[in-house]
Structure 1
Amino acid sequence: MDIVDPPSSSPTTHSVSPSARLERLPRITRSHRVWIALLSFIYACDWADIFSLSYAMPAMRQTWQLSTTQIGAVTSCTFAGMAIGAVLGGRLSDKFGRRPTLIAGTIVFSVASILSALSPNYEVFIILRTLTGAGLQAVVGVVLVYVTEMFPRVSRGRYISLVIGLGSLGMPPMALAARIVVPAGPETWRWVFVFGGIGLLAVIFVPKLLPESVHWDETNGKTARTDQLVTTLEQHVIARTGSPLPAPAPAAPTTPQPMSNLFTARYRRRTVVLCVAMTFFLLGYYGFNNWVPTLLVDRGLTISAALTVTTVLSASPLAATLLALPITDRWERKRTCMVLCMLAAAAVTAFAYTHNYATLVVSGFLTQLFFVTTFQVLYAYLPENFPTALRGSGAGLANGVGRAAGIASGFITAAIVTVLGFAGAFGAAALFSTLAGLIIGTFGANTHNRNLDDVDGHQQSAVAKSSAASEPRTLERAAAPATPQHYSEPLDARRGRASDLGGPPRGTD
């Protein structure tokens, strides 16, 4: 069995980019599984906290005698925090690293959630929910970028779906807890936000179990620990498969870049497309989710009955994961997003106009199913559009602009409810979802099964030609016995692989 030599034993081990070696792995390792478990727990805390406001809002409205406009203001302030957290968290993760930003964001949203439970009035609560939103969205952005950068290219989409799906398991316990706690007393809704602080437990384990991103380390010159980590992962894969690894494609060199580069000719189109698509998608998604309990009560259901409906809907993300896993890496992600957005629009339209309780529950479940599945595919797609040095910033900006639209969404939905009522509010959500799907499906970049820094094919193919022209065959032959998994294909085959945008066959996970 061929085993990778330790980094110090052979200079040729360093001749190939660690990130390129990581992306070509045909399967994940037990280290990846540990990362999945930890990131999923963090994401579960995030999901639970995001929807805590929706579950508590009907009772809060009675405690503080809130108007529909004030409810919209709370929702909008949460989105304002998310917009700030998405942009700031993305940039901080590009500058200081994925791991420290993840830790800081988790602390912020957990502590702010606990303090929200102690709010003496509406005004203090709004400030704390803004801070909660900032921490939440900073964490979401880093989790998505981390999985994108640390998992093999042939399977990173399905593992983003898996993390989001496992994370969505935080919704049913929170919905069930709210169903039990909120109706128990006039201010027992406060406990819902205490539950949202459970993310502090994750802070204990992140420094010990989660290494820094290989792509980020490489871009910032920290190659020693990166090479050692990737070598260990390679050893685990070879030990499991008993076969040499496929040759990595030549990797484009990356260096830190200013955020303004997102608006240069190279990245401007994808930046604008993703920002606009995220704006419409999140207007539709949160226009549905944030208003379901409140509008069901306004339509005549009791608080308990409305929360029963949301508890049923909260089970849909698990089904969404089962739907997303086989399709996220199978087809071009932008077109998959378009189809899912159309299905969500159809389901939410049925929800808006039905007067039958059973149809209401079924159509609501399907709406959540397609919305969350879209989220899983879309969140795999966003980070792939930008190079390592701008990945956090680009994905964060797109998320941030979408969340900024959510600032207006609370007031938009409140105005629509006033004029058009229940059906109009959810009909608007269907329209927004349709627009998001058409924009991303028509104008989005193709990213299917491509290396992270080769979305448009130009940068990678240029590097491949340069590498192939400058690399002597004698070096390959000399290096082959020491590190066969790095050079297990002839040079001519590797030249061909550099421009093979279809990528290697899917590995077994």
Structure 2
Amino acid sequence: RIVRSFEAAAGPAQRGDGAHLDDAADTHAGAQGTTVDVETTRTSQLASPFSAPYRTRTAALWATWFGVNFAYYGAFLWIPTFLVATGFPVAKSFGFTLVITIAQLPGYAVAAVCVEKIGRRPTLALFLAGSTVSALLFGQATSETTIMAAGCALSFFNLGAWGALYAITPEIYPTLMRAGGAGGATAFGRIASIVAPLVVPWVFTHHGEGWTFGVIAAAFAVATLAALALPERRGQALD
């Protein structure tokens, strides 16, 4: 509606396309062939992210953001330190970390395709499940080959999950609630990004690498289950 008001103010001549606003102004729908699911403005004006219509999705979104932040910052800030502690030279540990980090790029790319092909929620849940398994494997890896393979898989799936999470988050609330709803979830996730770098080294010191990545895998698993409770809005018009 806001864009249409801009177009109306400019007029067809300034827009330069010679088209009439009436061709599209009366249509409030998504792309051709999609299902329209518009949440009313009146409802969104009165509601908060924790009101009855949105309570479940808000709790699921907050849990997902918390789990993803905890696992990501708990793992990737400390991977070089973990590798050095298990006997690898500093230079080699940073070399491993560089290769593992590069694996994030194809993770983002694959997730970007999947969110449109199979949907936001399935993509997010799939990549989080892959992150769970990868974290468990990394915690048990001992050789250079298994460390590199499990680390790259963890990086691939974890960053793909981030991409899907950023795609689904703003779509699950109506326009008047979108900034507050998405901002609240990301802010709650930042708590985990503060807590994880403090908790993870304590677990590593007292219980070893297996337990450490078991905790990280548990965070991913919680996020996976929470993601399944999020609404799927692919192909639907947003109000």
Interval containing the TM-score (normalised by the shorter chain):
0.7 to 0.9
CA–CA separation in structure 2 for the residues paired with 1:387 and 1:452: 7
Q: Within 5 Å, give how 1:5-404 maps onto structure 2.
A: 7=8, 8=11, 12=22, 15-16=25-26, 20=28, 23-24=30-31, 254=41, 261-404=48-191
Q: In the superposition, relative to structure 1, how do residues 255 and 306 fare at CA in structure 2: closer, same or farther (>3 Å)?
A: farther
User: Could you say if the C-alpha distance between residues 279 and 25 of structure 1 is closer, same or farther in structure 2, counting changes exceeding 3 Å?
Assistant: same
Query: Cα RMSD over matched residues?
Result: 2.8
Q: CA separation in 2, counterparts of 1:386 and 1:303?
A: 46
* Equivalent residue for 2:235, pick from 428, 449, 473: 449
Is the contact made by 1:277 and 1:439 (CA closer than 8 Å) also made in structure 2?
Answer: yes
Post-superposition shift, 1:365? 0.4
* Equivalent AA in structure 2 for residue 341 of structure 1: L
Seen in structure 2, the aligned counterparts of structure 1 residues 411 and 252 have a Cα distance that, compared at 3 Å, is closer
Question: Contact conserved, 1:344 with 1:371, CA < 8 A, in 2?
Answer: yes
User: How has the CA–CA distance of structure 1 residues 421 and 356 changed in structure 2, closer, same or farther, with 3 Å as cutoff?
Assistant: same
Are residues 302 and 444 of structure 1, via their aligned partners in 2, closer, same or farther at CA, if it must alter by over 3 Å?
same
Instruction: Find the aligned partners of 1:263 and 1:317 in 2 and give their Cα distance.
Output: 34
Q: Cα offset for 1:309?
A: 0.9
Q: 1:14 to 1:446 in 2, by over 3 A?
A: closer
Q: Is the CA contact (8 Å cut-off) linking 1:256 and 1:389 kept in structure 2?
A: no
From 421, 426, 429, the equivalent of 2:216 is 429
Asked whether the equivalents of residues 285 and 433 of structure 1 are also in contact (C-alpha less than 8 Å), the reply is no
**Contact 2:61–2:227 (CA under 8 A) maintained in structure 1:** yes
Matches of 2:200 and 2:211, distance apart in 1: 9
Distance of aligned partners of 1:419 and 1:273 in 2 relative to their CA distance in 1, 3 Å threshold: same
Structure 1: tracts of 5 or more residues without a match: 1-5, 27-153, 155-247, 454-509
Q: Which amino acid aligns with 1:24?
A: A
C-alpha deviations, 1:252-296, integer Å up to 9, x for none?
664896797112112121111110122122212221111111221
Structure 2: gaps of 5 or more residues: 1-6, 13-19
What's the CA shift string for 1:80-125, capped at 9, x where partnerless? xxxxxxxxxxxxxxxxxxxxxxxxxxxxxxxxxxxxxxxxxxxxxx
Contact persistence 1:259–1:393 (CA under 8 A): no
| AA partner of residue 22 (structure 2) | T
SS in 2 for 1:363: helix
CA distance in 2, matches of 1:412, 1:394: 28
Percent sequence identity is 23
Cα distance change on mapping 1:397 and 1:311 into 2, 3 Å: same
Structure (1 or 2) with the larger CA radius of gyration: 1
Q: Which has the higher contact order (CA 8 A, sep 6+)?
A: 2
| Distance 1:14-1:348 versus aligned 2 partners, 3 A rule | closer
| TM-score relative to the length of structure 1 | 0.40
